[in-house]
């Protein structure tokens, strides 16, 4: 029998029925069991509820169902309030946990008690053909500076956080940018962040995923939150350049044509050369280790 660790997994769902079997099976197949999985269905209109019912025999799964869609922030807040373990592990229901993710992050938090928020990396894959697209490379240092620059220093679906810290904060109904806004406030209050270099999840790229639906208004909204939290001022030009940097990088990641792929990567690097240089240096350092 697998050991159970003091971790609440929190996932919110809206119409991800097609991916839920993979999601639940990845948790069930983990090297350790969580204390609980708090699964909030935010008024899904697909077959999500019927799929969830298939897992009623797993007593650690606790389901909260909204009859009508209230928005991701409301679902996250309801789930957060229901978490009872020492740590809360965040995940999206269209992602797949790697088998050792829970155990690895739990052990790290137990050994590094000064860390309050711990993230990691993901492997992006095409939902239609399962082709690996890319691997994220989140910062290992300078977390506050990254947030001040208007970027996410941790990827929410990879985060484990001390539940006592998590419960002090509420997600705001900001679309998009609610993840950035919440973690920016947490780091500004002095809590300590870290990232594992390891890949913790397989993250789907599909027509409804955030990667596939990025708009310039999304970038502008995140910079607006940055300005409110850190008392900065973002020009329209900065938002424009950063959007096209990310958009070209996304196009490169999704392209099946190698010439187009590297063309888009080249455009992305011109628009944000410092970020690309940091990524290359980090990759070289990881390779040498």
Residue 284 pLDDT class (50, 70, 90 cuts) = very low
User: 128, exposed or middle or buried, with CB in 10 Å at 0-12, 13-18, 19+?
Assistant: exposed
**Total Cβ atoms within 10 A of residue 46:** 14
Q: Establish if 46 belongs to a structural domain.
A: yes
Instruction: Tell me the two tokens of residue 101.
Output: 């993710």
What is the spatial distance between Cα 123 and Cα 134, in angstroms, rounded to a whole number? 6
Instruction: Tell me the two tokens of residue 203.
Output: 């993250």
- pLDDT tens per residue, range 79-138: 999 999 999 999 999 999 999 999 999 999 999 999 999 999 999 988 788 888 889 889
What is the spatial distance between Cα 119 and Cα 157, in angstroms, rounded to a whole number? 8
Hey, CA dihedral for 239, 240, 243, 245, is it positive or negative?
Answer: negative
Termini Cα distance of the chain: 35
Structural domains counted in the chain: 1
* Mean pLDDT, rounded, for 272-289: 52
What is the spatial distance between Cα 274 and Cα 216, in angstroms, rounded to a whole number? 21
3-state DSSP: the chain helix, strand, coil percent, rounded to 5? Answer: 45, 20, 35
Q: CA angle at residue 98 from 92 to 104, to 5 degrees?
A: 105
More confident: 192 or 175: 192
* Containing structural domain, residue 77: 4-209
3 has a pLDDT exceeding 50: yes
Residue 266 pLDDT class (50, 70, 90 cuts) = confident
Q: What CATH number is associated with residue 89? A: 3.90.550.10
The predicted structure's pLDDT at residue 133 = 85
The predicted structure's pLDDT at residue 250 = 75
The predicted structure's pLDDT at residue 51 = 97
Q: With contact defined as beta carbons under 8 Å apart, do 64 and 36 qualify?
A: no
Instruction: Tell me the two tokens of residue 266.
Output: 């080249």
What is the spatial distance between Cα 225 and Cα 151, in angstroms, rounded to a whole number? 11
Q: Determine the 3-state secondary structure of 240 from DSSP.
A: helix
Q: With contact defined as beta carbons under 8 Å apart, do 192 and 113 qualify?
A: no
283 has a pLDDT exceeding 50: no
Q: Establish if 189 belongs to a structural domain.
A: yes
What is the spatial distance between Cα 114 and Cα 136, in angstroms, rounded to a whole number? 25
Which residues does residue 88 pair with via DSSP β-bridges, in sequence order? 8, 161
Which residues does residue 125 pair with via DSSP β-bridges, in sequence order? 132, 204
**CA torsion angle for 288, 130, 20, 51 (degrees, to 10)?**
-160
Q: Establish if 261 belongs to a structural domain.
A: no
**Residues shown for the chain:** 289
Residue 242 pLDDT class (50, 70, 90 cuts) = confident
What are residue 126's phi and psi, to 5 degrees? -75, 125
Q: Establish if 199 belongs to a structural domain.
A: yes
Q: Establish if 86 belongs to a structural domain.
A: yes
191 has a pLDDT exceeding 90: yes
* Mean pLDDT, rounded, for 182-195: 98
- pLDDT tens per residue, range 10-62: 999 999 999 999 999 999 999 999 999 999 999 999 999 999 999 999 999 99
Runs of H (alpha helix) within the chain: 20-28, 48-53, 72-82, 101-111, 143-148, 163-166, 178-188, 216-230, 236-254, 258-271, 273-288
Q: Establish if 227 belongs to a structural domain.
A: no
- pLDDT tens per residue, range 140-188: 999 999 999 999 999 999 999 999 999 999 999 888 789 999 999 999 9
75 has a pLDDT exceeding 70: yes
Instruction: Tell me the two tokens of residue 64.
Output: 């909260």
- pLDDT tens per residue, range 199-238: 999 999 865 555 545 677 778 888 899 999 999 998 888 7
Q: Establish if 265 belongs to a structural domain.
A: no
Q: Establish if 233 belongs to a structural domain.
A: no
What is the spatial distance between Cα 28 and Cα 31, in angstroms, rounded to a whole number? 9
């Amino acid at each position: 029998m697998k050991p159970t660790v003091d971790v609440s997994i929190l996932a919110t769902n809206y119409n991800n029925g097609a991916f839920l079997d993979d999601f639940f099976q990845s948790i069930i197949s983990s090297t350790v069991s969580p204390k609980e999985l708090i699964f909030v269905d935010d008024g899904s209109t697909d077959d999500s509820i019927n799929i969830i019912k298939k897992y009623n025999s797993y007593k650690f799964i606790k389901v909260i169902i909204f009859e009508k869609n209230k928005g991701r922030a409301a679902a996250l807040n309801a789930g957060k309030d229901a978490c009872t373990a020492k740590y809360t592990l965040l995940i999206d229901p269209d992602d797949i946990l790697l088998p050792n993710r829970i155990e690895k992050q739990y052990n790290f938090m137990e050994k590094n008690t000064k860390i309050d928020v711990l993230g990691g990396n993901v492997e992006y894959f095409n939902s239609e053909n399962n082709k690996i697209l890319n691997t994220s490379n989140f910062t290992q240092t300078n977390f506050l500076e990254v947030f001040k620059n208007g970027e996410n220093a941790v990827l929410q679906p990879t985060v484990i956080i001390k539940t006592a810290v998590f419960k002090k904060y509420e997600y705001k109904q900001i679309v998009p940018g609610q993840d950035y806004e919440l973690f920016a406030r947490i780091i500004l209050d002095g809590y300590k962040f870290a990232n594992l270099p390891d890949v913790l999840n397989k993250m789907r790229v599909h027509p409804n995923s955030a990667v596939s639906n990025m708009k310039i208004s999304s970038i502008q909204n995140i910079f607006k939150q940055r300005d409110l939290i850190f008392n900065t001022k973002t020009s329209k030009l900065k938002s424009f350049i950063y959007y096209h940097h990310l958009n070209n990088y996304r196009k490169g990641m999704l392209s099946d044509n190698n010439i187009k792929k590297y063309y888009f990567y080249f455009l992305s690097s011109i628009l944000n050369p410092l970020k690309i240089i940091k990524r290359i240096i980090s990759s070289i350092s990881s390779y040498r280790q």
